[in-house]
Amino acid sequence: MTADPEILEAALGYSFRDREPLVRALTHKSRTHEQTRPGEDPVSNEQLEFLGDAILGLVVSDFLFRNFPGYGEGRLSKLKAHLVSEARLYEVAQALSLGGYLLLGRGEEMSGGREKRALLGDAVEALIAALYLDGGLPAARQFIESQIVGSAGLEDQTGEFTTVDYKSALQERAQALHMPQPKYAIVEESGPEHSKVFTVEARIGREWTDRAQGTTKKAAGQNAARLLLDRLPEAER
pLDDT score, position 124: 96
pLDDT score, position 135: 94
pLDDT score, position 161: 45
Mean pLDDT for the stretch of residues 215-236: 81
pLDDT score, position 107: 74
33/115: higher pLDDT: 115
What number of residues does the chain have? 237
- Evaluate whether 66 touches 96 at the Cβ level (below 8 Å): no
| For residue 138, pLDDT beyond 90 | yes
Q: Which of 122, 125, 201, 210 is catalytic?
A: 125
Task: Place 156 in a pLDDT band, splitting at 50, 70 and 90.
Answer: very low
**Lowest mean per-residue pLDDT among 4-18, 32-46, 103-117:** 32-46
32/50: higher pLDDT: 50
Mean pLDDT for the stretch of residues 64-71: 82
237/79: higher pLDDT: 79
Q: CATH number of the domain at 166-231, out of 3.30.565.10, 3.30.160.20, 3.30.1540.10, 3.40.50.620?
A: 3.30.160.20
Q: Side chain identity at 101, as an amino acid letter?
A: Y
Q: CATH number of the domain at 5-158, out of 2.60.260.20, 3.30.70.270, 1.10.1520.10, 3.40.630.30?
A: 1.10.1520.10
> Quick one: three-class SS letters along the chain?
CCCCHHHHHHHHCCCCCCCHHHHHHCECHHHHHHHCCCCCCCCCCHHHHHHHHHHHHHHHHHHHHHHCCCCCHHHHHHHHHHHCCHHHHHHHHHHCCHHHHCECCHHHHHCCHHHCHHHHHHHHHHHHHHHHHHHHHHHHHHHHHHHHHCCCCCHHHHCCCCCCCHHHHHHHHHHHCCCCCCEEEEEEEECCHHHCEEEEEEEECCCEEEEEEECCHHHHHHHHHHHHHHHCCCCCC
Cα-Cα end-to-end distance for the chain: 47
- What count of other Cβ atoms lies within 10 Å of the Cβ of residue 191? 11
| For residue 141, pLDDT beyond 80 | yes
**Is 53 labeled as catalytic in the residue annotation?**
yes
**Is 155 labeled as catalytic in the residue annotation?**
no
Boundaries of every domain in the chain = 5-158, 166-231
Q: pLDDT digit string (tens) for 186-222?
A: 999 887 766 677 899 999 999 999 998 877 788 788 8
pLDDT score, position 180: 94
Percent of the chain beyond pLDDT 70?
A: 86
Task: Place 152 in a pLDDT band, splitting at 50, 70 and 90.
Answer: low
Q: Which of 49, 53, 108, 201 is catalytic?
A: 53
Percent of the chain beyond pLDDT 90?
A: 33
223/179: higher pLDDT: 179
Q: Side chain identity at 154, as an amino acid letter?
A: L
- Evaluate whether 117 touches 105 at the Cβ level (below 8 Å): no
**Lowest mean per-residue pLDDT among 112-126, 149-163, 215-229:** 149-163
| For residue 159, pLDDT beyond 70 | no
Task: Place 91 in a pLDDT band, splitting at 50, 70 and 90.
Answer: confident
